[in-house]
Amino acid sequence: MRRFPAVYGMRWKIVFLALGLLTAAFIIAGLLVRFLDLDFVISAVIAVLVCLAAGYYIAGRLTRPIEHIAEMTDMLVNGDFSGEIYVRSHDEMGWLARNYNELGARLSENFSEITTEKQKLETILKQMADGMVAVNRSGRIISANDAARKMLRMSDDDVTYKHYDDIILRFTDELTAAKIKAKLNAGEHSGRYSYGGRTFEIRFDYFRDTYASEEGLVIMLQDVTERLKIDNMQTDFVANVSHELKTPLTSIKGYAETLLAGGMSDPETAYEFLSIINSETDRMNRLVKDILQMSRLDTGRLKWDIRRSDIVSLVRTAIKKMNVQAEHKGQQLNTVFDPKERIPVEMDRDKIEQVIMNIISNSVKYTKEQGRIDVSIATSGKEVRIMVMDNGIGIPEKDLPRVFERFFMVNKARSGQSVGTGLGLSISKHIVEEHGGSIEIESVFGKGTRVSVYLPLAIQEQPAAKKADRTTL
């Protein structure tokens, strides 16, 4: 404890004040008796009253710094650190005032640092793609960032009034607070759970106070659905490429070995085997070509030749090229549009023709003999729709969401003939979207399929809108 000289200490000031007032009272009383000839008792009362008034005034001067310190302390309690005490004395009041001012400055600095760190943390949590939920010992949510609110579909009222278990039980009973604590006690700190068609990586741990006591739980949620989808696609890509290359290579090697073993002596057999080798080589070439094109589309290295061109003439040309295949199966490939109409579209003609031919080729391939394929063109608003509808074998409903995935084929044996590379629709979707359009597939298994390609019309030369046919399968 700090010590003060006698002349500076508040304690001695009070002693000197009391002694001075007592002395003054005796002097005043004596003067009144001597000069005014008053009674001693009356003189004593007057002297005491005068000394009380003087003492009250002097005591007020002494206690005013204390009142000021009390006011400043109230400001400090309310979070206002701007107050400063101006006491120039060298006694305990001065010491207290200087310590208060220093304390206020330090608190202000520390509070500013804490506020800054809090804002940084809040910004980081808000921008995090991963969800974060903090739960106290009683199971109430004390913090949840935007990602967690979205993943767990939490409203502000949920965060404020509901327990964590009330929220998580909407999705799974494997992540309740009690089960997470049990996992932590068993040494587990992570897991993977699926619900609502999404897959989540979960990490959790205790958070503790200054004394290392458990205060609650911190739970991190990471949506890995897309990542797993990409991983599966990469795995499927490698497996499918290996399979698609292995089949023709095995066939080519087998026929080549047969020819080398003496098959060349029979011209008819040699011609047949060489034709198969040539066909399998073409199949490999198509696969490699499609893979390269998909790679260029993914990396943005594919060159585009965008020009204003007539979509009607393009579709008409594609139909002519595919008509031979349709006639070979006895199918009707019908043109359900005015071949003389002109509809201008800003497009890369070769690539859009590739899209149309791929769609018509799929219809021919998956429509039985004597089947019907209709190709129509219609405008609606600022876009044109090219629709290819067949009465083929159709696509099962469960497979429709995957038809645009790379290498995905609903059933490789369903057409009864050789299949493609499994990249056609994926490439077609990519090309159409690069043109600012979209592609849709509707199908009823066993009844047929309808594929619609939407492309934006060329600016300033839009033909009169003709309502697109929205007939159902």
Please state the three-class secondary structure of 333-397 as a single string.
Answer: EEEECCCCCCCEEEEEHHHHHHHHHHHHHHHHHCCCCCCEEEEEEEEECCEEEEEEEECCCCCCH
**Burial of 148: CB neighbours in 10 Å, binned 0-12, 13-18, 19+:** buried
The edge-to-edge listing of strands for the beta sheet with 383-390 is 332-336, 372-380, 383-390, 448-456, 438-444
What six digits make up the tokens of 63? 């206690």
Is the CB of residue 17 less than 8 Å from the CB of residue 63? Answer: no
What six digits make up the tokens of 442? 């509707």
Other CB atoms within 10 A of residue 380 CB: 14
Whole-number pLDDT of residue 360: 93
- Scanning 128-186, the segments in alpha helix (DSSP H) are 146-151, 156-161, 164-168, 177-185
Q: Are strands 131-136 and 214-223 parallel, antiparallel or unpaired?
A: antiparallel
Q: Phi then psi for 189, rounded to 5 degrees?
A: -130, 5
Q: Which residue bears the tokens 């809090």?
A: 118
Whole-number pLDDT of residue 437: 93
Whole-number pLDDT of residue 15: 67
Q: Are strands 448-456 and 383-390 parallel, antiparallel or unpaired?
A: antiparallel
- Scanning 36-91, the segments in alpha helix (DSSP H) are 40-77
Whole-number pLDDT of residue 211: 67
- Alpha carbon distance, N-terminus to C-terminus of the chain: 95
Is the CB of residue 198 less than 8 Å from the CB of residue 223? Answer: yes
What is the C-alpha to C-alpha distance for residues 463 and 456, in angstroms, rounded to an integer?
A: 12
Model confidence pTM above 0.85 = no
Whole-number pLDDT of residue 316: 94
Whole-number pLDDT of residue 436: 92
Q: Could you read off the pLDDT tens digit of each residue along the chain, which spans 473 residues? A: 444 444 455 666 676 777 777 787 778 777 776 777 677 778 778 878 887 887 777 777 666 777 777 777 777 777 776 677 666 666 667 777 777 778 877 887 887 787 777 777 777 777 777 888 888 888 888 888 888 888 888 888 888 888 888 888 888 888 888 888 888 888 888 888 887 778 888 898 988 776 666 778 888 888 888 888 777 777 777 777 777 777 778 888 888 888 888 777 788 888 888 888 888 888 788 778 877 877 777 777 778 889 999 999 999 999 999 998 899 999 999 999 998 899 999 999 999 999 999 999 999 989 999 999 999 999 988 999 999 999 999 988 888 888 887 777 765 544 444 455 677 888 899 999 999 999 999 999 989 999 999 999 987 644 554 444 444 44
List domains and CATH numbers for the chain: 10-111 (no CATH), 128-223 (3.30.450.20), 228-299 (1.10.287.130), 306-456 (3.30.565.10)
- Work out the angle at residue 422's Cα, subtended by the Cα atoms of residues 421 and 426, and round it to the nearest 5 degrees: 125
